[in-house]
Structure 1
Amino acid sequence: MTMTTHEQRIELHDFNNLTKTLSFNMYDICYTETTEERKSYIEYIDEQYNAERLTEILNSVTELIGAHVLNIAKQDFEPQGSSVTLLVSEGPVVEVPVDSFKETPGPLPSSVVTQLDKSHITVHTYPEYHPYEGISTFRADIDVSTCGEISPLKALRFLIHSFDTDIMTMDYRVRGFTRDKRGKKLFIDHEINSIQNYIPEEVKSNYEMIDVNVYQENIFHTKCKLRNFDLDNYLFGYTKDKLTDEKQKDITKRLEEEMDEIFYGKNIND
């Protein structure tokens, strides 16, 4: 088994057993003033992102990173939310392209093949609403955990493409070690400076972004908040021209506060 580090081939003692995990967390925010609007929004989310649709998304991720599905567990919950877990194994063994190790956005679904083993992909959804402020939030958490030569960060572009996101939080970490032929431990097998380097430029231009990276521990964190705010994108079932200017300002303030609180991880008015 060989792997590429710093554009060179390193011969390994055995299989590359570094564990690489991408955690992709997204939020979609909506203004739902009445109980009926909140109910309709939850029903819409549960229909759009039910277990069947989520399974399709994860199957595409599995195909994209070149894995085989061993088992699928999926469940739609009451009153809302869904979960899907895929156990995956290594795909056909081929020479891994050198650009698999570069910090560039990954592809959309295509014939990308690499080696994976002892791997899993999971998604959980959490639709919810504020009891009286009129804010509804849809959150989805996706984990892609792999062993092998390619980073699950190559699935990031497709995941962003699959969800309509106002806020994204991404964590990437490499755990364990593998050994070269001399027995030397290798704690990471590719260079990485930031998760941002795996996000396409056209996506990055739409978001405010913050990085928190602990390089010596191989931990990388990036969070993103949508820059441009158009109230029409946050109203469920009607447009802002149905509202007074005062009402538009009030709703905008509530939505922006909600997004800021999620982005910065704290309650603004405390």
Structure 2
Amino acid sequence: MKKLKLHGFNNLTKSLSFNIYDVCYTPADQKQAYIDYIDEAYNADRLTQILKDVAEIIGANILNIAHQDYDPQGASVTMLIAEGMDTEVDAEQLNSESPGPLPETVLAHLDKSHITVHTYPESHPDTEISTFRADIDVSTCGQISPLKALNYLIHSFESDIVIMDYKIRGFTRDVSGQKHYIDHNITSIQKYISEDTSEKYQMIDVNVYQEHLFHTKMLLKETELENYLFEKESAFSEEEKKAIQEQLQQEMAEIFYGRNYA
């Protein structure tokens, strides 16, 4: 493919925003312990390391990091990143519809970009279900797409549900003065997820191609009860197991489809 000759810098902004949800069964006496566990497992220091790994994957230099743990729960990290290594970028490879590394270094040039993460542990007031949500944004300006960090991020969290949006904003101009509103082919976010991961999830797309807007939802197929108990050694009757399973499945379906069923 012949490279497009640009007038100045490629200033298209490509933004990946997604929510990751973890769902857990927590009886009343376990709810606070679950929130405390999540707060420690995904504290600001841990989240900072995850974002550092993302910056390494996409070859970015870190300019500044702001991080904060909150009371009573939750944490936030914001990282400003800039152009990476002074190496010629193979834009065709970096923007190809293929999964990114887990992780390996990918060289890229970035400018005026950022990565953020915010966490929200919470519990249902009336049922025995608790959820943990992480909101993540990776925004890059230049030739690389932040979708190359997607595989790593999905594997960095306990992801029962993943809801993703990818959009390209602005335009870049070629030497003839013509504006280009996208610089790479994309048909679905799913193309950037590894096959072994894709097989584990039910996935649906809602894409608006003419507006360069792409939306994908992922719901874990296997919901083995043992994986959703905060205390793994809990003993339940078959009737109790069925009731718990129904609570978990309803909670996950409501989050996935964005509506209440009760």
Structure 2: distance between partners of 1:93 and 1:149: 14
Structure 2: distance between partners of 1:94 and 1:18: 20
What does residue 139 of structure 1 align with? 133
Q: Which amino acid aligns with 1:220?
A: F
For the pair 1:107 / 2:98, whether they are aligned, the reply is no
For residue 8 of structure 1, give the secondary structure of its aligned residue in structure 2.
Answer: coil
How far off its partner does 1:161 sit?
A: 1.3
For the pair 1:243 / 2:242, whether they are aligned, the reply is no
TM-score (norm 1): 0.95
Unaligned runs of 5+ in 1: 1-6
How far off its partner does 1:96 sit?
A: 1.8
Structure 1: distance between partners of 2:217 and 2:233: 29
Structure 1: distance between partners of 2:78 and 2:2: 35
Structure 1: distance between partners of 2:133 and 2:88: 37
For residue 175 of structure 2, give the secondary structure of its aligned residue in structure 1.
Answer: coil
For the pair 1:62 / 2:55, whether they are aligned, the reply is yes
What does residue 208 of structure 1 align with? 202
Structure 2: distance between partners of 1:153 and 1:167: 18
What does residue 186 of structure 2 align with? 192
Q: Deviations over 1:84-129 (max 9, x none)?
A: 0001111123222332121000012322111100100000000000
> Out of 10, 13, 29, which is 2:7 matched to?
13
> Out of 218, 221, 234, which is 2:215 matched to?
221
Of all paired residues, the percent bearing the same amino acid is 60
How far off its partner does 1:132 sit?
A: 2.1
Considering fraction of residues, name the structure with more strand. Answer: 1
What does residue 86 of structure 2 align with? 93
For the pair 1:160 / 2:154, whether they are aligned, the reply is yes
Structure 2: distance between partners of 1:30 and 1:213: 31
Q: Deviations over 1:52-96 (max 9, x none)?
A: 000000000011101111110000000000000001111123222
What does residue 258 of structure 2 align with? 265
TM-score (norm 2): 0.98
Structure 1: distance between partners of 2:104 and 2:26: 38
Provide the aligned length of Structure 1 versus Structure 2.
Answer: 261
For the pair 1:125 / 2:119, whether they are aligned, the reply is yes
Structure 2: distance between partners of 1:122 and 1:17: 20
Q: Which amino acid aligns with 1:200?
A: S
Structure 2: distance between partners of 1:56 and 1:42: 21
How large is the Cα RMSD of the aligned pairs? 0.9
> Out of 43, 51, 54, which is 2:36 matched to?
43
Structure 2: distance between partners of 1:11 and 1:93: 19
For the pair 1:80 / 2:69, whether they are aligned, the reply is no
What does residue 182 of structure 1 align with? 176
